[in-house]
Amino acid sequence: MTLNSDIDYLRSTRAIRERCHYVYELGLAGKLKHFRIRSEKIDAVARFVIDVTKENYPDGKIPYHSRWSHFQIGGVDRIGWLRRNAPQHRKDGLSLARMYYDLVVPSILLDAGAGMAWAYVDSHGKTYSKSEGLAVASFDMFAQGLFSSDPKNAMQTDATALKNMRPDVLANGFQVTKTNPLVGVEGRLALLRNLGVALEDPKFFGGPAAGTVGSLVDYLLNNYGAQSIRAVDILKTVLEAFGSIWPGRVLVGDVNLGDVWKHSLVDGDGQTKGLVPFHKLSQWMTYSLFEPLEWAGCKITHVDQMTGLPEYRNGGLLLDMGVLDPVKVDALSQEYAPGDEFIVEWRALTVALLDVIADSVRKSLSKTAEDLPLAKILQGGTWAAGRKVAAKLRPDGGSPVKLKSDGTVF
pLDDT > 70 fraction of the chain, expressed in percent and rounded: 98
Q: Is residue 56 part of a domain?
A: yes
CB distance 286 to 273 below 8 Å: no
Kindly state the percentage of the chain with pLDDT values over 90: 82
For residue 159, tell me if it sits in a domain: yes
Residues 151 and 213 in one domain: yes
Tell me, rounded to whole angstroms, the distance of Cα 400 from its chain centroid. 19
Q: What is the pLDDT of residues 326-338, one digit of tens each?
A: 999 999 999 999 9
The answer to whether residue 262 is domain-embedded is: yes
Residue 101 lies in a domain: yes
Strand ranges (E), 275-348: 275-277, 299-301, 324-326, 335-336
Mean pLDDT for the chain overall: 93
Nearest CA among 51, 17, 45, 40 for reference residue 318: 45
Instruction: Please tell me the predicted confidence (pLDDT) of residue 116.
Output: 82
Let me know whether 262 and 408 are in one domain.
yes
Q: Identify the domain containing residue 156 by its residue range.
A: 69-224
Which of 328, 380, 336, 333 minimizes the C-alpha distance to 56? 380
Domain shared by 155 and 208, yes or no = yes
Q: What is the pLDDT of residue 312?
A: 92
For residues 117 and 188, membership in a common domain is answered with yes
Query: Is 274 a domain residue?
Result: yes
In angstroms, the CA 144 to CA 127 distance is 19
Q: Is residue 160 part of a domain?
A: yes
74 with 135, same domain?
yes
pLDDT for position 1 = 53
> Rounded to 5 degrees, what are φ and ψ at 36?
-110, 145
Instruction: Give me the number of domains the chain comprises.
Output: 2
Other Cβ atoms within 10 Å of 387 Cβ, number: 18
- Residue 238 counted as domain residue: no
